[in-house]
Amino acid sequence: MNELSRRAFLATVGGAAACPSLLRAAAQQPAALLPLHTPKIDHLDVIVPDVAASARFYMGVFNTTLHAQPFQGGFRYFVLFGDLPEATRQVGYMAIGESRGRPTSIGHFCTSVFDYRQNSAAITAAINEAATKAGVGGLTGGGGVGGIFNDPDGIEIQFLPAPDTLVTAAVPSDLVEWRKGLVTPRGVDHVLLHVANLEKGVQFYQILYGPPLRDRDTGRAWFQIGDTRLVLEQAAPGQKPHIEHFGVKVSRFDPAAVAAALGKLGAQVVKAPDETAVLRFRDPLGITVELVGA
């Protein structure tokens, strides 16, 4: 801190101390609900017809551990994007759930929110009020802490209390041997949405995450959320809005070697001219994923 800013800081503190009523008033001001007070995008899920097969595939990609949760007579699997602290269970992850007749897809993404457990109803109301005023629709669905909402385009989004934790019902799974994958995951890097109307999408998501940045080359808008990004892109004519792909931060890797190994796992490596620093692939079911080197 330079001398000028130090003097200004001390003067501010001194002025507040000289007026206790100012300190009381500041302490009584409620924290703003919007933009959301969120550390990052914590997890996402894919919905597939065979959860065990997809869990085996992604454990072949990611050098990590696998957990499972009994769910509606079957299982949900969790591919962890880092080590799981025993005390807090705070870790990013990818959930794999059964599609049950729904199309295979990336189902939802989640940003955890500080104080969400006590403020969830007020936050939902604030989002919908601001979205209505902006003329861009609001959230539908949801219900309770952890419920999944639909954005104005029908894209699924979840909020959980921050810091997000792996669900307590998830326990280590021996479906496949651990730590045999190609790359070591470090967390979610980004999620890309294809939206019906880019400008309306920007108007809605800036209510949640603040002002976006614009990429003039691609036309995309992106929101920096901690060390993760939410990216919006105009959907093609006739295309239904959806989560197009997600990116995972991984430790440094050899792109050529990993690309060759992905092919042996049944994935299709695809060119990514708009993301030159990543390795993009489609899994055996057509879900698109990017590996983003640290």
Question: In this predicted model, what pLDDT tens digit does every residue of 257-278 receive, in sequence order?
Answer: 999 999 999 999 998 877 778 9
| CA proximity to 38, closest of 94, 130, 111, 118 | 111
Mean pLDDT of the region 112-117: 94
Q: Name the burial class of residue 265, with classes exposed (0-12), middle (13-18) and buried (19+) by CB atoms within 10 angstroms of its CB.
A: middle
Handedness of CA 234, 292, 207, 211 (dihedral sign): negative
Q: Of 292 and 276, which is predicted with more confidence?
A: 292
DSSP state of 30: P
Digit-coded pLDDT (tens) for 20-73: 554 344 444 457 999 999 999 999 999 999 999 999 999 999 999 999 999 888
Sign of CA dihedral 43, 80, 294, 162: positive
CATH class of the domain defined by 41-172: alpha beta
Q: What is the pLDDT of residue 175?
A: 98
- What residue ranges of the chain are covered by domains with CATH 3.10.180.10? 41-172, 185-293
Nearest CA-CA partner of 246 in 95, 114, 113: 95
Rg (alpha carbons) of the chain, rounded to whole number = 21
Task: Provide the percentage of residues in the chain whose pLDDT is more than 70.
Answer: 89
Sign, Cα dihedral of 214, 233, 292, 80: positive
CATH architecture of the domain 185-293 equals: Roll (3.10)
Model pLDDT, residue 275: 72
The pLDDT of residue 9 is above 70:
no
CA separation, residue 148 to residues 59, 142, 206 (Å): 26, 5, 19
With 80 as the cut, is the pLDDT of residue 18 above it?
no
Please check the confidence at residue 99 and state whether its pLDDT lies above 50: yes
State the sign of the Cα–Cα–Cα–Cα dihedral 166, 285, 154, 280.
positive
Q: Tell which wins on pLDDT, 145 or 273.
A: 145
DSSP helix/strand/coil, 160: strand
pTM: 0.88
Sheet with 185-195, strands from edge to edge, namely 213-214, 221-225, 228-234, 185-195, 242-250, 288-293, 278-282, 268-270
